[in-house]
């Protein structure tokens, strides 16, 4: 019997600890309430404080952490009560979180879907509860477009095109390009390839002489580049990589072969992560098209409009910028990811 009491006491203690934890954070959340109660003085639209749930995939990459940071910062700026849930990379958890947001009666939900399929039942539930859902960074496959308010994401085709156009200008429309593709079948790999091909069409002297997958990884990028250098040697004048990591791997391979990346071989990639900027400052990487993770401002613009009952375009493109060796130095200090 004594054992039972000890155990019950211990569990009670755990629960009590949790209680005080939550109470403290509860107080924090309590703060904005009086402000919104006075109404009109706070909040962006001058109405009640918005509560928005954000179902994030996880924190698997620097890119995603930057995205989360952007949404959190924007919520704070607009005095939105943000409910954040990290699904630890699992769709099951993400669905539970979205259903939890619905049960809680949030004003809107921001969802970064981990995979493209499997969202219809839960989004139908949100629709029935009249809660608008804003998708960020990845789309979903569905036959019913009314299930979400809008999708805010980069246009991968445009990214590829931008890289091609920059390369055409740099090399005066004449190049023998080696393409390092991303994971076969993934949306960014398909679209970045398509965009690049469109971008070089106007220049008949620009040719893709080889195109192989490096799986978005640095080590694979290096291996593939080594093999291609052996096969094509000095013929190669430019490299187009679907992401920075593969480009950085390729740069290593080029250096080891005795050539100079940036002068002998022009390297262009997509993503704009910090390491890419470092390489650009060193002159090894020639250009990188940024795939912008800072979606916060656009996401909350969309949320506010959707809550106000406005219809939004189904697709909103995040503007991506191209950085090259001339302007990388100015930006590198502010890069967080």
Give the footprint of another protein on this chain (CB under 8 A). 1-4, 6-8, 10-12, 14-15, 18-19, 21-23, 25-26, 28-29, 53, 81-88, 90-93, 95-97, 99-101, 103-105, 115-122, 124, 129, 141, 143, 185
Of the two residues 142 and 327, which places its CB atom closer to another protein in the complex? 142
Residue 304 C-beta-side C-alpha neighbours within 13 Å = 18
Q: Minimum Å distance from CB 286 to another protein?
A: 34
Of the two residues 128 and 311, which places its CB atom closer to another protein in the complex? 128
Q: How far apart are CA 277 and CA 331, in angstroms?
A: 8
Of the two residues 151 and 266, which places its CB atom closer to another protein in the complex? 151
By the 8 A CB rule, do 151 and 123 touch?
Answer: no
Q: How far apart are CA 19 and CA 21, in angstroms?
A: 5
Q: Minimum Å distance from CB 3 to another protein?
A: 3
Nearest one of 253, 257, 300 to 152, comparing CA atoms? 300
**3-state DSSP percent of the chain in helix, strand and coil, to 5:** 50, 20, 35
Q: Quick one: how far is CA 331 from the chain centroid?
A: 19
Residues in the chain: 337
Q: Minimum Å distance from CB 212 to another protein?
A: 19
Of the two residues 14 and 308, which places its CB atom closer to another protein in the complex? 14
Through-space distance between the first and last CA atoms of the chain, rounded to whole angstroms: 56
Q: If you write DSSP's letter for every residue of 21-36 in order, what string do you get?
A: HHHHHHHHHHTHHHHH
Q: Minimum Å distance from CB 95 to another protein?
A: 7
Q: Minimum Å distance from CB 41 to another protein?
A: 23
Of the two residues 109 and 285, which places its CB atom closer to another protein in the complex? 109
The torsion region of residue 173 among left (phi > 0), alpha (psi -120 to 50) and beta comes to: left
By the 8 A CB rule, do 325 and 187 touch?
Answer: no
Q: What is the DSSP letter of 86?
A: E
Q: Minimum Å distance from CB 231 to another protein?
A: 29
Q: Minimum Å distance from CB 55 to another protein?
A: 9
In sign, the C-alpha dihedral spanning 220, 226, 230, 233 is: positive
Q: Minimum Å distance from CB 135 to another protein?
A: 16
Of the two residues 42 and 88, which places its CB atom closer to another protein in the complex? 88
Q: How far apart are CA 43 and CA 50, in angstroms?
A: 8
Of the two residues 28 and 330, which places its CB atom closer to another protein in the complex? 28
Of the two residues 140 and 236, which places its CB atom closer to another protein in the complex? 140
Q: In sequence order, what are the residues at sequence separation of 6 or more whose Cβ sits closer than 8 angstroms to the Cβ of residue 32? A: 42, 49, 79, 81
């Amino acid at each position: 019997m004594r054992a039972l009491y000890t155990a019950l006491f211990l569990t009670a203690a755990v629960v009590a600890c949790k209680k005080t934890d939550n109470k403290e954070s509860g107080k924090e959340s309590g703060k904005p309430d009086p402000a919104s109660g006075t109404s009109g003085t706070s909040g962006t639209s001058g109405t009640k404080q918005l509560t928005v749930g954000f179902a994030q995939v996880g924190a698997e990459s620097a890119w995603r952490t930057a995205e989360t940071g952007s949404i959190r910062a924007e919520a704070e700026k607009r005095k939105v009560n943000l409910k954040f849930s990290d699904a630890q990379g699992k769709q099951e958890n993400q669905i539970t979180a979205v259903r939890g947001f619905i049960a809680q009666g949030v004003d809107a939900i921001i969802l970064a879907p981990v995979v493209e399929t499997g969202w219809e039942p839960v989004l139908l539930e949100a629709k029935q509860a009249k809660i608008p859902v804003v998708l960020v960074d990845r789309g979903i496959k569905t036959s019913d477009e009314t299930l979400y308010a809008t999708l805010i994401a980069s246009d991968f085709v445009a990214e590829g095109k931008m890289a091609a156009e920059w390369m055409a200008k740099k090399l005066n429309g004449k190049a023998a390009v080696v393409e390092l593709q991303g994971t076969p079948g993934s949306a960014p790999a398909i679209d970045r390839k398509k965009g690049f091909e469109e971008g070089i069409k106007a220049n008949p002297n620009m040719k893709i002489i080889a195109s192989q997958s490096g799986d978005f990884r640095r080590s694979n990028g290096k291996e593939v580049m080594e093999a291609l250098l052996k096969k094509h040697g000095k013929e190669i004048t430019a490299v187009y990589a679907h992401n920075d990591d593969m480009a950085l791997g390729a740069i290593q391979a080029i250096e080891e072969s005795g050539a100079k990346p940036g002068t002998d071989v022009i390297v262009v990639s997509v993503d704009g992560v910090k390491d890419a900027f470092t390489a650009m400052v060193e002159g090894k990487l020639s250009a990188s098209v940024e795939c912008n993770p800072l979606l916060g401002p656009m996401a909350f613009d969309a949320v506010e409009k959707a809550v106000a009952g406005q219809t939004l375009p189904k697709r909103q493109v995040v503007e991506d910028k191209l950085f090259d060796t001339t302007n990388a130095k100015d930006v590198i200090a502010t890069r967080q990811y």
